Structure 1
Amino acid sequence: MVGSLEQATMRKVAWRLVPFICLLYFIAFIDRVNIGFAALTMNKDLGFSSSVFGFGAGVFFFGYFLFEVPSNYILDKVGARLWIARVMITWGMLSGAFAFIQGETSFYVLRFLLGAAEAGFFPGIILYLTYWFPARYRAGVVSLFMAAAPISVLLGSPLSSALLEMEGILGLHGWQWMFIVEAVPAVILGVVVLFYMTDRPEKATWLADDQRAWLVAEMNEERSRKQVHAKHSLLGGMTDIRVLALALIYFGTSAGLYTLGIWAPQIIKSFGLSTFAVGFLNAVPPTVAVIAMILWARHSDRTGERTWHVVIACLVAAAGLLLAGGAASTVAVVAALSLVNIGISSAKPPLWAMPTMFLSGSAAAVGIATINSIGNLGGFVGPWAIGWIKDKTGSFTGGLIFVAALLVLSAIVTLVVARAGRRAEPASTVAR
């Protein structure tokens, strides 16, 4: 009876929450990386060099870094419904404002403000999922949520390239139309969040009484099991050495993710393709990545193993970047970028299953935000390095090698963390 009640409850929770938060992340990721498609025409219109564009694209993560931890702490206190709505509405308005940038300064300022506005969304959702899904479900659910990122590239690439064709309509450039059109859904969905999201299982009137009672009891029991080892203080969540190590691991994966999101269209276009063709070819790598990520995360959940699922994925992504740097044809570069997508996407769900094994309460809120804020600085370093090295060498190769090295470092740190965990807590699932 309990087994059937659990299955029915988790199925209902998953269908209620996961598609909706996937939609939110889908929109978030499009607004975060559509700058990569805008660059195909915007850089020439505004006179941006590769260095200027790379720095401006990456400065988003300075705002993200500064406001991530306080944003997630506020979410834990006021509830996901209000805070996620605030995040989405403000980032939507700022994303639309990119249509009116005039030069380097306005570009840098708006990218910084967009990062500050969006801070707290991703770690907030990761934290939100820990309120609703027991640990044994978590990597699989996170993989479904994170599938929205490659799917946004899959669907957003042709859309963005099509919007760029609106050049001259009502006196606006195509890239201006792209920013305006793609910003609207964030504002609309921000309002929808206020009416659709439920903060905690205790408030889930859409669950049957026995389902709600089972889920509340299950989550309370899981929290109680962590009482002995879990850290609960704010300072503990920010300064735990495992949190800082996971942030370093995430740094490399973020550098890889945003190298793809921001530079992949230009890397593909360097083979002499039209903007429209770039849109469709850029959609190929995330298509295979979505399938690989979900299967990889389910295998991680089924085996309970996290470390090697992160390590292998990081190394696959690094190999893909090295191959992309030496690619001599369109087919070769798309195949290499597919490997990068598979590796980056597959590393993240098992990685995000780790923090809540040793953090609880407010410490989990700030710990997850700390990992995401520090780790996402890789989203600045990767794109900036690609642009700076390309200006110096005239090629993407050196920058791709640099980002590949960061991913190899992520793999090494993951192994070090696992080994240290086995020594400190032989029975802990953290080191599995």
Structure 2
Amino acid sequence: MLIEDSASPRHVGSPADIDGEAQALERRLARRLLPPLFMVSLLCQLDRSNLAFAALQMDAQLGFSKTIHGLGSGLFFVGYLAQVPANMVCLAVGPRRWLPGLLVAWGCIAACFAGVRGVRSFLALRLLLGVAEAGAYPAIFVWLGAFFTPRQLGPAFTWVTTATAVAGLLGAPLAACLMSLDGALGLEGWRWLFLVEGFAPVLLAAALPFLLPATPLTAAFLAPAEQQWLWRQLQGEPGVELVGPPTAAAPAAATTTAAAAAALVEAAGAETAAADAGAAAEAAARRPLLPPDRDDSAAALPGGAATTATAGKAAPHKARPFGGGGALRAAIRGGLLDRRVYHLAAVMMLIDVVMNAANFFLPMIVRAVITGQFANEGGSGGGGRGGGGAAALNIRAALLSALPFCAAAVAMVANAHHARARDERRLHTALPMVATALALAGTPALVALGPAPALLGLSAAAAGIWAVHGPFFSWPAALLDRQPAALAFALIKSGGAVGGFAGPLAVGAMADVLGGWGGAMLLLAGCALACAGLVLVFDDRPRR
């Protein structure tokens, strides 16, 4: 084994051997960490987007127009604007505590949709669901950042967020099955859908702390030498020779450095002092995203023995998980005051305009395609109880909606791997958006040729819009240090929340006003094309 414990003879092999062992460790981390977080992402997406399938019955039974449906879909993302403060809480308490709590909260809220009786309760619950889910993906990003390097973080996060497409693929037949329970125990099928899919996150919340370690130092599936080596790598110390147990002095040194940086900033007596303070604070911010949980202070060292610094009361640095005031200021300066982050937030806004409009209206659009009402669909469609033909049509539309999501899942993984292999992000983000724009603009013409060509066009559009996730979300980690990247990620996702609100609302209103879906397709095509243009002019050159 090339990664040695400090107590044993040091053995450093060839670069190829070292790379091979590091890659094997990365694969082992992926096998143990990604499946549970994939399930979190899957349930998160199911509970936010099951409205698209429930609406096939619910809108007609409750008398909701497409505008109300779009408003409810979009209000979720108003609550989603809480991502930046939610991520600050996550960095303070650790995702091992934060994420299970979020699962319980949004699961209970999602189940409450089964009791919706009118517009007010529907809109209020959608807003609350957005607030509850706001911290989920930033917490996943933080948790992954505690185990994967910036280069590994993009593909790892992509595998987790592939669940957004898989949720449509699996959610379609699941929704069809649950809606077929229409009338069982006196409940409509859409109420069964919300009840069952809302209960699942609560079960996962109970299991999650046992499935995932808090830090590399508490990962029981890693050998002690691997834990120590990975911890050193994530702290930015180069080279395989940096092995051996981490000491209590290391975190303390980071805190001391940050405190010295803060003092220098406050003194601000000379330009050189300010420059040294900024450099020291940036260095302190480079430590891993996730501080060891306070409950794991003793277990965080090999053998579980507490050091002098960790025995008794918690060490001071644990009460200040950002590494001190200077490091926090550096993280905010790097993550929230960088103009590139706002450029990426604008790109994310346009991505989410298109993606969430597809998420929440695809089953309705598919139903319009197979009934020949794409250009002129009256009312909210079928779905009332007692209409056997309408119920069968809704189930068929739900099942066919899985096809675009299947294409999206394949494209998402394939594009992420190709982007990583080429170490290129710009074209791997822009070109799929151009393909999405062409597919959406061509959908009205394809509908005239029949349902099969139309579904093919919708599948191409979904593949393009979901394919951008891997290369796009690897940008923050590539441009910024760990803690700034975590805050930048939350800000970028908040930009997406603006698009998530505007997209479904605009599409629903246009469908009501125009009586069909053609105008909405052209609007979304324009947004996709504008997004590609913003990506092409993005300045991702490293700062000097």
TM range (shorter): over 0.9
Cα offset for 1:222? Answer: 6.7
Distance (whole Å) between structure 2 residues aligned to residue 203 and residue 325 of structure 1: 55
Tell me the residue number matched to 2:525.
404
Tell me the residue number matched to 2:484.
363
Would the aligned equivalents of 1:255 and 1:381 in 2 still touch at CA under 8 Å?
yes
Q: Secondary structure at the match of 1:93?
A: helix
Deviations 1:130-175 (A, max 9, x none): 2211223233222211211111111110110221111111111110
Distance (whole Å) between structure 2 residues aligned to residue 6 and residue 143 of structure 1: 20
Matched, 1:80 2:95: yes
TM-score by length of 1: 0.93
Give the residue type in structure 2 aligned to 1:247: A
What is the 5 A alignment of 1:228-377? 232-270=330-368, 271-272=370-371, 274-326=393-445, 327-328=447-448, 329-377=450-498
After superposition, the CA RMSD in angstroms is 2.1
Matched, 1:194 2:197: no
Distance (whole Å) between structure 2 residues aligned to residue 135 and residue 362 of structure 1: 12
Deviations 1:176-235 (A, max 9, x none): 011001111111101111222222212223211122122112111279998499893325
Distance (whole Å) between structure 2 residues aligned to residue 358 and residue 8 of structure 1: 26
Cα offset for 1:259? Answer: 1.4
Would the aligned equivalents of 1:6 and 1:214 in 2 still touch at CA under 8 Å?
no
Matched, 1:212 2:217: no
Distance (whole Å) between structure 1 residues aligned to residue 213 and residue 73 of structure 2: 34
Distance (whole Å) between structure 2 residues aligned to residue 134 and residue 62 of structure 1: 32
Matched, 1:111 2:126: yes
Count residues with an aligned counterpart. Answer: 422
Cα offset for 1:317? Answer: 1.5
Matched, 1:30 2:49: no
What is the 5 A alignment of 1:23-172? 23-65=39-81, 67-172=82-187
- Identity, in percent, stands at 31
Matched, 1:184 2:199: yes
Which of the two has greater helix per residue? 1
Unaligned runs of 5+ in 1: none
Residue of 511, 515, 524 corresponding to 1:394: 515
Distance (whole Å) between structure 2 residues aligned to residue 149 and residue 84 of structure 1: 18
Cα offset for 1:128? Answer: 2.2
Q: Secondary structure at the match of 2:235?
A: helix
Change (3 A) 1:218 1:49: same
Distance (whole Å) between structure 2 residues aligned to residue 124 and residue 408 of structure 1: 31
Change (3 A) 1:397 1:227: farther
Would the aligned equivalents of 1:232 and 1:364 in 2 still touch at CA under 8 Å?
no
- The more displaced of 402-411 and 304-313 is 402-411
Give the residue type in structure 2 aligned to 1:185: A
TM-score by length of 2: 0.74
Would the aligned equivalents of 2:154 and 2:477 in 1 still touch at CA under 8 Å?
no
Residue of 216, 221, 226 corresponding to 2:236: 221
Cα offset for 1:362? Answer: 3.6
Would the aligned equivalents of 1:229 and 1:358 in 2 still touch at CA under 8 Å?
no
Distance (whole Å) between structure 1 residues aligned to residue 110 and residue 338 of structure 2: 35
Give the residue type in structure 2 aligned to 1:308: L
Q: Secondary structure at the match of 1:108?
A: helix
- Computing the radius of gyration over CA atoms, which structure comes out larger, 1 or 2? 2
Distance (whole Å) between structure 1 residues aligned to residue 207 and residue 442 of structure 2: 43
Deviations 1:94-130 (A, max 9, x none): 0000011111111110000000000111122123222
Distance (whole Å) between structure 2 residues aligned to residue 203 and residue 237 of structure 1: 28
- The more displaced of 291-300 and 29-38 is 291-300
Deviation above 4 Å: which 4+ runs of structure 1? Answer: 222-231
Distance (whole Å) between structure 1 residues aligned to residue 284 and residue 532 of structure 2: 29
Distance (whole Å) between structure 1 residues aligned to residue 26 and residue 482 of structure 2: 22
Cα offset for 1:280? Answer: 1.9
Distance (whole Å) between structure 1 residues aligned to residue 40 and residue 401 of structure 2: 22
Would the aligned equivalents of 2:153 and 2:477 in 1 still touch at CA under 8 Å?
no
Give the residue type in structure 2 aligned to 1:267: I
